[in-house]
Amino acid sequence: MHIPDGFLDAKTALATAGLSAAGLGTALRQARLHMPRRSVPMMGLAAAFVFVAQMLNFPVAAGTSGHLVGAVLVAVLLGPAAAVIVISAVLIVQCLLFADGGLSALGANIFNMALAGSVSGYAVYAALRRVFPGPRGRLAAVAFASWCATVLAAVCCAGELAWSGTAPWAAVMPAMTGVHMLIGLGEAVITTMVVAALDRAGFADGQAGLSAGRGGLLVYGVLVALGLALFVRPFASPWPDGLEKTAAALGLGPR
Amino acid sequence: MSLLHGLLEHHCRVDSPVHRLAAGPKLAAGLCVVVAALVFPYAKVWLALTALLLLAAGLARLPWGFLTKRLLFLEPFVLGVAALSLLRPHGAAVFASLVAKSSVCLLAMILLSATTPFADILAALGRAGLPSLMVTVLALMHRYLFVLLDESERMSLARSSRTFSRGRARSWRSTADIAGGLFVRSSLRAERVYDAMCARGWR
């Protein structure tokens, strides 16, 4: 899902860079104020771990293979602020060292995967945890959050490409979302299996003392909402939805 | 030794006028090339930039095989995203210009990463205002990337020498176990790294 250089126009590149800088800045500030100092090497090692884990392939079907993305995995294990920093670090190294993901699209990639993917995945996980306690509930929450994060990141990516005029929304949105609804299933299964393996090994979440920094969720939420309002809202349907249409047909609509 | 070791660092150790340029100006030049390729969407500009980049690659004495291999490795990602533009009217022209633009930028980034040690890029980013916490995380990540890569290769090798079944469910399970094991090892290593950093006076 890494957007290369050349696919985003200036306004999209600048808007996403601004949103990502604000999100990463918030996460770094929280880390400095609330996290223990021993969490600094942990975040560095976690970023290296995510990079390496993305290279572990598992067979899907007919000779194709998939790999872990790890955005929700890190968010569940280390907390949202650490996840924003870790996933951003992964994306920066992939861009500058491996030319994977464009320099001008770095802001967009950080927005899609570190902010929209990781943090919203964490929000879904945290909300579901309240409803489903216990170890099985945890695994179910991890699975659903991983799927949601993958799909939301794909929707943001499609919105940015469409807003840039690179591809028409009507084509890019179903293509990206459809593919990632399937990829998300793989991500959900593999993330859940990793969390289950860690639970069996006695690794509780936030074990590295990084669970601090949940307070920034509101800030990230506002940033993601702002991004969605920019890239995705222009493509919302101007036609009345089912309820509005029925209401109008029955004469119940607003006069 | 993994594929990545061979691909990356040893090209940074060559001595040439391009390698001797400071990382900061080189990073700025790379950014300028990318911006120029995006802001001026003309074939002439792209050809000029490509010529400039190839000249720099020649001066840096980068093996042409290495450059081609990196470009071919990364091009599928570009083609995959660009293919979406074929769905719009006059898609073919848009597709061609997207691929050309992206390839120029790719070449610039490959050249930058192949001629500049990552530590120098990080120092330049730090001077340019990237918060020091982020610089530290990036430096640690880069330092341990190759260590963990070797570790995961050892774990995969040990796994494949002990298991004989080829079922899909089994192989997903063992990939997940390797990833989990790798995370445990990474976090234990992080504890040791922290102790070592403190012992050396890190504050």
ipTM of the complex: 0.89
**What is the C-alpha to C-alpha distance for residues B112 and B29, in angstroms, rounded to an integer?**
9
pTM of the predicted model, to two decimals? Answer: 0.89
Stretch A44-69: mean pLDDT, rounded? 80
Q: Which residues of chain A lie closer than 8 angstroms to B88, CB-CB?
A: 167-168, 171
Out of A13-27, B7-21, B84-98, pick the least confident: B7-21
Look up residue A148 and give its amino acid.
C
Out of A123-137, A166-180, B46-60, pick the least confident: A166-180
Stretch A74-99: mean pLDDT, rounded? 92
pLDDT surpasses 90 at A83: yes
Highest mean pLDDT among A46-50, A97-101, A181-185: A46-50
Q: Give me the residue spans of the domains in chain B.
A: 3-125, 131-199
Residue in A4, A46, A99 closest to B113 by CB: A99
Q: Tens digit of pLDDT for each residue in B111-142?
A: 888 888 889 999 999 999 999 999 999 999 99
**What is the C-alpha to C-alpha distance for residues B109 and A2, in angstroms, rounded to an integer?**
15
Indicate the average pLDDT of chain B: 84
Residue B10: pLDDT band (50, 70, 90) is low
**Whole-number pLDDT of residue B1:** 38
Give the DSSP letter of residue B85.
G
Length of chain A: 255
**What is the C-alpha to C-alpha distance for residues A55 and A44, in angstroms, rounded to an integer?**
18
**Whole-number pLDDT of residue B15:** 77
pLDDT surpasses 90 at A176: no
Q: Give me the residue spans of the domains in chain A.
A: 10-232
Residues 167-196 of B with CB under 8 A from A: 168, 171-173, 175-184, 186-187, 189-191, 193-194
**What is the C-alpha to C-alpha distance for residues A244 and A252, in angstroms, rounded to an integer?**
9
Residue in B with minimal Cα distance to A186: B172
What is the percent of chain A with per-residue pLDDT over 70, rounded to a whole number? 84
What is the percent of chain B with per-residue pLDDT over 90, rounded to a whole number? 23
Residue in B with minimal Cα distance to A35: B133
- Looking at domain A10-232, its CATH architecture is Orthogonal Bundle (1.10)
Residue A255: pLDDT band (50, 70, 90) is very low
**What is the C-alpha to C-alpha distance for residues B20 and B48, in angstroms, rounded to an integer?**
23
Q: Which residues of chain A lie closer than 8 angstroms to B173, CB-CB?
A: 193
